[in-house]
């Protein structure tokens, strides 16, 4: 865990709603594991937004550069659009427990919904670098909202795509694709990793449980400290409340009580 | 010119007056990679209770204007776990720790303090002002002067350790409650805990917190907390640990000028883990600049003509 003022290399709009922020930090770029996150102080001289914001590490670009993806949602992300090359932002990271793929698995199936692609892109690259077989299932609302299509083809991944309006891939969502995939590949030893909206993850968990495959999910929770002291980001599990910032953000889906 | 920052809270000697508030710093361990713990005046631990507590239903926090609401619900592992693990860690630090405790009734507080007394802890803070825990009473101990007096008196008889009482700002007259704590034998009061608040999501029309209401902290409450410290200082002889939205050295200085002996940093830790140290350094600079040799000489020097 480090705290440092990371310099901005690039801040680029990549779709209508999403941006990619590339930052320079040796410590974070070298230490981050897929699924871990950063806690970012967006404005250094104002109390708006008041708290830091957590972002999943999206990609390690070079030895000392990495990037995050953000979607314009509220004041904090609106402010982030204004960040320019050379600006510095205070970051704490890498934080939390990331994905833990098992060794003896034939296929790693990654299920991303929308901006949930951010941590799963990092995991995809890591698994491919380790010569693992990866299937990436990716759903978005519409073709124009699909993220990182170029970057995915660079790492030679052809994702199975779904869009709500059918403008690319199947008409439907990532869970529909996962359901079909698991039905067709019953004999393979598969492990699933998912990130996306809570309602999607809940359904992903149901599908995986029914198919008898292990699933890890990355949970988004509102957070204050990011390091396990405020106990604000509680996730209800079979073993009591756990913290998204410390015990997670990645959890075994079978442990989570979804409600 | 060197300046003297040391202060005393009861029998506890602090090398500087800037501590970190309960529930905002864990037991220090979580921050040891980011913060030089020995620079802190003291660490007030996350509140412990007799039994393990699960805490409240999420969401537990909501951001507000210049602050945040929380309703954690005193989640903690309970007294036994604390004594067996956390306390060992705290005792290994050079910085003194103040153990925050809370109970559902007087007996709970007595049992907690008795146990901690056996382990020779240096100081205890009675948290009688958590707004997020339902007890048998309709109100918190610290919302009633008599209840405060009765509880603190009982606990006082059980220990010689430094006893601090953390009070709620959700009261009509803070002077009355603070005086009750002092009369009952408290050696210091912590002013203030959080202000009760609520936030609503207009789309779902649901409260933003699982607990419906929560405690407001952060700079939004600073003038309110400062007013309470100022008022309490006019009637108390014992030290006040001022807290409530302190973000900068100036904020901290205001509390000391209003009458606080020490100050405590809470919510600011979440945003800047080094807050307490930066604030301490800023206060030191101010003293040097204004040729004030000793922090004690600044206490309560508010000029009212």
pLDDT digit string (tens) for B290-305?
999 999 999 999 999 8
**Contact check, Cβ <8 Å, B30/A221:** no
A164 in the same domain as A91: no
Residue A45: which CATH number?
A: 2.40.30.10
State phi, psi for A148 to the nearest 5 degrees: 55, 35
Q: Which pLDDT band, with edges at 50, 70 and 90, does A259 fall under?
A: confident
A68 in the same domain as A33: yes
Report DSSP state, residue B143. G
Q: Name chain A contacts of B60, Cβ cutoff 8 Å.
A: 231-234
Among A59, A20, A63, A17, which residue's Cα sits nearest to residue A36? Answer: A59
Q: Name chain A contacts of B53, Cβ cutoff 8 Å.
A: none
* Domain tally, chain A: 2
What's the pLDDT score for residue A104?
87
What's the pLDDT score for residue A44?
73
**Contact check, Cβ <8 Å, A230/B24:** yes
Q: Could you tell me the residue range of the domain that residue A138 belongs to?
A: 107-218
Q: Give B250-280 pLDDT, tens digit per residue.
A: 999 999 999 999 999 999 999 999 999 999 9
**SS3 of residue A152 by DSSP:** helix
Position of tokens 């997020």? B132
A150 in the same domain as A81: no
Q: Give B150-204 pLDDT, tens digit per residue.
A: 999 999 999 999 999 999 999 999 999 999 999 999 999 999 999 999 999 999 9
Q: Give A40-60 pLDDT, tens digit per residue.
A: 999 877 778 999 999 999 999
What's the pLDDT score for residue B2?
86
What's the pLDDT score for residue B138?
65
Residue A186 within a domain: yes
Residue A236 within a domain: no
Chain A: nearest CA to B128, how far in angstroms? Answer: 19
Q: Name chain A contacts of B269, Cβ cutoff 8 Å.
A: 225, 229
| Residues contacting residue A150 through CB under 8 Å, at least 6 positions apart | none
What is the average pLDDT across B62-83? 96
A90 in the same domain as A138: no
A212 in the same domain as A115: yes
Active site residues of B: 130
So what CATH class is B7-55+74-198+218-297?
alpha beta
- Output the DSSP codes for A18-50: EEEEEEE-HHHHHH--TT-EEEEE--SSS-SS-
What's the pLDDT score for residue B305?
84
| 3-class SS letters over A49-74 | CCCCEEEECCEEEECCEEEEEEECCC
Percent of chain A with pLDDT over 70: 100
Q: Compute the distance between CA of residue A214 and CA of residue A253 in angstroms, rounded to an integer.
A: 8
- E strands, A164-257, in order: 170-171, 190-195, 214-218, 234-237, 240-243, 250-252
Q: Name chain A contacts of B25, Cβ cutoff 8 Å.
A: 229
Q: Is 80 exceeded by the pLDDT of residue B23?
A: yes
What's the pLDDT score for residue A85?
95
What is the average pLDDT across A84-94? 95
Burial category of B205 from C-beta neighbours within 10 Å (exposed 0-12, middle 13-18, buried 19 and up)? exposed
For residues A49 and A75, the answer to whether their CB atoms sit within 8 Å is yes
**SS3 of residue B146 by DSSP:** helix
Q: Which pLDDT band, with edges at 50, 70 and 90, does A18 fall under?
A: very high
What's the pLDDT score for residue A156?
86
Residue A52 within a domain: yes
Q: Is 70 exceeded by the pLDDT of residue A21?
A: yes
Mean pLDDT of chain A: 95
Q: Is 90 exceeded by the pLDDT of residue B133?
A: no
What is the average pLDDT across B42-66? 96
What is the average pLDDT across B69-94? 96
What is the average pLDDT across A78-93? 95
- Closest Cβ opposite residue A234 in set B58, B68, B247: B58
Q: Which of B35, B48, B63 to mutate to test the interface with A (most CBs of A within 10 A)?
A: B63
A169 in the same domain as A138: yes
A90 in the same domain as A112: no
- Note the pTM of the prediction, 2 decimals: 0.95
- Closest Cβ opposite residue B30 in set A50, A223, A228: A228
For residues B290 and B257, the answer to whether their CB atoms sit within 8 Å is no
A115 in the same domain as A165: yes
Q: Compute the distance between CA of residue A78 and CA of residue A71 in angstroms, rounded to an integer.
A: 9
Residue A188 within a domain: yes
| Residues contacting residue B150 through CB under 8 Å, at least 6 positions apart | B106, B184
Handedness of CA B214, B220, B222, B228 (dihedral sign): negative
A204 in the same domain as A176: yes
Residue A204: which CATH number?
A: 3.40.50.80
């Amino acid at each position: 865990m480090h705290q440092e003022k990371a310099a901005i290399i690039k801040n680029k709009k990549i779709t209508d709603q999403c941006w990619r922020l590339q930052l320079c930090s040796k410590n974070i770029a070298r230490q981050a594991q897929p699924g871990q996150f950063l806690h970012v102080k967006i404005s250094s001289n104002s109390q708006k937004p008041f708290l830091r914001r957590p972002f999943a590490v999206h990609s390690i670009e070079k030895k000392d550069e990495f990037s995050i993806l953000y979607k314009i949602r509220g004041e904090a992300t609106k402010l982030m659009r204004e960040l320019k090359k050379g600006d510095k932002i205070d970051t704490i990271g890498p934080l939390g427990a990331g994905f833990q793929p098992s060794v003896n698995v034939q296929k790693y199936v990654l299920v991303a919904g929308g901006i949930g692609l951010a941590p799963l892109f990092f995991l995809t690259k890591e698994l491919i670098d380790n010569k693992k077989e990866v299937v990436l299932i990716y759903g978005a609302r519409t073709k124009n909202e699909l993220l990182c299509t170029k970057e995915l083809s660079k790492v030679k991944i052809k994702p199975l795509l779904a869009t709500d309006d059918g403008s690319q891939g199947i008409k439907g969502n990532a869970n529909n694709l996962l359901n079909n995939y698991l039905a067709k590949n019953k004999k393979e030893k598969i492990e699933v990793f998912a990130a996306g909206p809570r309602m999607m993850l809940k359904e992903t968990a149901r599908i995986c449980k029914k198919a008898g495959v292990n699933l890890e999910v990355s949970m988004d929770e509102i957070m204050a400290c990011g390091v396990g002291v405020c106990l604000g980001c509680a996730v209800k599990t079979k073993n009591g409340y756990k913290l998204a910032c410390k015990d997670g953000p990645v959890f075994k889906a079978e442990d989570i009580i979804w409600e | 010119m060197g300046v003297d920052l040391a202060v005393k809270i009861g029998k506890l000697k602090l090398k500087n007056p800037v501590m970190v508030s309960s529930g905002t710093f864990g037991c220090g361990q979580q921050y040891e990679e980011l913060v030089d713990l020995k620079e802190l005046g003291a660490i007030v631990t996350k509140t412990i209770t007799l039994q393990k507590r699960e805490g409240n239903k999420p969401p537990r926090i909501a951001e507000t204007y210049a602050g945040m609401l929380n309703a954690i619900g005193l989640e903690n592992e309970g007294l036994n776990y604390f004594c067996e693990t956390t306390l060992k860690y705290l005792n290994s630090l050079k910085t003194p720790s103040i153990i925050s405790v809370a109970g559902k009734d007087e007996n709970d507080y007595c049992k907690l303090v008795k146990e901690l007394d056996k382990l020779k802890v240096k100081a205890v803070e009675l948290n009688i002002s958590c707004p997020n825990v339902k007890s048998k009473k309709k109100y918190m101990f610290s919302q009633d002067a008599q209840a405060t007096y009765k509880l603190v008196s009982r606990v006082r008889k059980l220990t010689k350790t430094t006893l601090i009482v953390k009070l709620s700002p959700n009261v009509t007259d803070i002077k009355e409650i603070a005086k009750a704590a002092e009369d009952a034998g408290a050696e210091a009061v912590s002013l203030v805990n959080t202000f009760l608040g609520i936030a609503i999501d207009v789309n779902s029309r649901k409260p933003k917190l699982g607990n419906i209401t929560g405690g407001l902290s952060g700079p939004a409450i600073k003038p309110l907390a400062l007013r309470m410290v100022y008022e309490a200082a006019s009637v108390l002889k014992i030290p006040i640990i001022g807290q409530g939205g302190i973000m900068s050295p100036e904020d901290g200085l205001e509390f000391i000028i209003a009458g606080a002996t020490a100050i405590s940093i809470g919510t600011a830790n979440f945003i800047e883990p080094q807050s307490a140290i930066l604030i301490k350094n800023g206060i030191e600079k101010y003293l040097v600049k204004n040729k004030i040799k000793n922090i004690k000489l600044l206490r309560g020097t508010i000029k009212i003509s």
